[in-house]
Amino acid sequence: MARKNLWKVVLALSVVVLVGVAAWHQSGREGKQSGDGQDNAWETGEKADTIKGDVLQMQKVSYPKKDQWVSVDKAYLKNLKPFYKKSMCSLFLGREGENCVYSPVNLYLSMAMLAEMTDGRTRSQLLDALGQKDINKIREQSELIWKSVYLNQTGSECILGNSIWLNQDIPCQKEVLHTLAEHYYTETYQGTVGAGMDQNIQDWVNGITKNILEKEAGEIKTTPEMVFILMSAAYFYDRWVEPFDNKATKKDIFINADGDKSECDFMNRTERGGVYKSERFQSTYLEFEGGSNMFLFLPEKGVTLEDLFRKDMDEILHIASNFGIGFEEGGVSLSLPKFSISSNLDLISVVESMGIEDLFKREKADFTKLLGKGEKNHPPVFVNRMRQASNAAVDEEGCYVASFTETELLMGAAGYRKIFEIVCDHPFLFIISDNNGIPVFAGTVNQI
């Protein structure tokens, strides 16, 4: 079946904005800092390319080439589950009746890069939340996530990108920036804050996300107090292996979390697949052509999505990370509503629930790994805002999910032996996992 339009799935866009407190702006710049690997720019012998206006690209990276599946040690996946569970439960619980979309992988990588820039208790709290005691293990784990999720082949893409945008007046430790490039594929830019840098950052975001988040990117602004902006973005597009037939889409009723009923388009198909059944929920999956899967989790009668988050997340994450295990094969008659949902999430409480406190406190956040230990080198710097805005939609051909996180620092089948019927006519959870079972995106559909 020829399909001219590929349905694009934007997996994640993370924006980490670090802004120095007013004391930084008042202190001014007392000439170029040097020594101990600290500088306002690279050495003069290193090439810097002007991209637009007063912004230079100081550090380029070469992205990993992936023309075959990369296997990830199951021990690493097991180690990541506590992070996924805590962050997902913290986000989804307390939002009864609301639609929600979230990228655990995106938040993980952003927090890992923050761990590289921090020291002392701040770093220790980040490492604990990320499930490791050693920063080298975080680097290994992040590289494995990158190499597993990253995909660039004909017909299927999952393109990741990281970048850091430095205020030209801010001295920093070059070794940290080199580490970000080596283990997180982070590009470095430096220049004058203001409209010129704003436009460069927005262009970078739009280039990776194909302008899908153009409005949201347009809201990214720099200020004189900004230390740097850390960007993490991902773009994924793909199609269902077995698309839904447009002719089979029919109007039906979706029962919202509050009990109200909404009429919407339901996509319908019967294909060979698998179903996982427990006393509290049932699950099936939709396969993408590039090897990823969307798992659907539908609570049984008398069970809510909140009940699943409180009692069943270990089982749910095990299912999403181990394709096919525990599923009974047969014909799957699936009725799934077409939907477009969005959410705007405050992540500070989520991150705090994982034991990270100092990052958000003016006098306790420790960014000396990046900014240096000398008193003149930096003012108190702390995270003032951390939010994630997202949008997700599915239809007959595929789905898309777009998200950005902003963190501001001040400073028809026959012959089946069994047919399973799954009708997603009430609130359900979806998780998109890559071919290694890494949950890249999760969302709840509570109302349509």
Averaged pLDDT for residues 144-149: 85
Above 70 in pLDDT, residue 233?
A: yes
Which of 50-64, 93-107, 245-259, 419-433: highest mean pLDDT? 245-259
pLDDT digit string (tens) for 286-324? 999 988 999 999 999 999 999 999 999 999 999 998 887
Which of 22-26, 31-35, 200-204, 274-278: highest mean pLDDT? 274-278
Averaged pLDDT for residues 3-21: 46
pLDDT for the residue numbered 268: 97
Above 70 in pLDDT, residue 149?
A: yes
Which has more pLDDT, 310 or 344?
310
Q: Rounded distance, CA 94 to CA 81, Å?
A: 21
Question: Could you tell me the residue ranges of all domains in the chain?
Answer: 8-239+341-410, 246-340+413-445
pLDDT for the residue numbered 105: 84
pLDDT band at residue 144 using 50, 70 and 90 as cut-offs: confident
Lowest mean pLDDT among 31-40, 68-77, 124-133, 192-201: 31-40
Could you tell me the pTM of the whole model? 0.86
Which has more pLDDT, 250 or 62?
250
Provide, rounded to the nearest whole percent, the portion of the chain with pLDDT above 90: 39
Cα–Cα–Cα angle for 412, 240, 389, rounded to 5 degrees: 135
In CATH terms, 8-239+341-410 corresponds, of 3.30.497.10, 3.40.50.2300, 3.30.300.30, 1.10.3720.10, to: 3.30.497.10
Which has more pLDDT, 28 or 227?
227
Averaged pLDDT for residues 121-141: 93
pLDDT for the residue numbered 26: 37
Q: Rounded distance, CA 62 to CA 232, Å?
A: 16
Averaged pLDDT for residues 160-177: 87
pLDDT digit string (tens) for 357-406? 999 888 899 989 988 876 455 567 877 777 777 777 788 888 777 666 76
Averaged pLDDT for residues 404-414: 59
Averaged pLDDT for residues 89-111: 88
pLDDT band at residue 408 using 50, 70 and 90 as cut-offs: low
Above 60 in pLDDT, residue 37?
A: no
Query: How many Cα atoms sit within 13 Å of 230 on the Cβ side?
Result: 27
- Element (DSSP H or E) covering residue 112: helix 104-117
CB 184 within 8 A of CB 112: yes
- Three-class SS state of 140: helix
pLDDT for the residue numbered 315: 95
CATH class of segment(s) 246-340+413-445: mainly beta
Lowest mean pLDDT among 26-35, 256-265, 346-355: 26-35
pLDDT for the residue numbered 322: 84
User: CB neighbours (10 Å) of residue 418?
Assistant: 10
Above 60 in pLDDT, residue 45?
A: no
DSSP string, 207-246: HHHTTTTHHHHTT----TTEEEEEEEEEEEE--BSSPPPG
Above 60 in pLDDT, residue 215?
A: yes
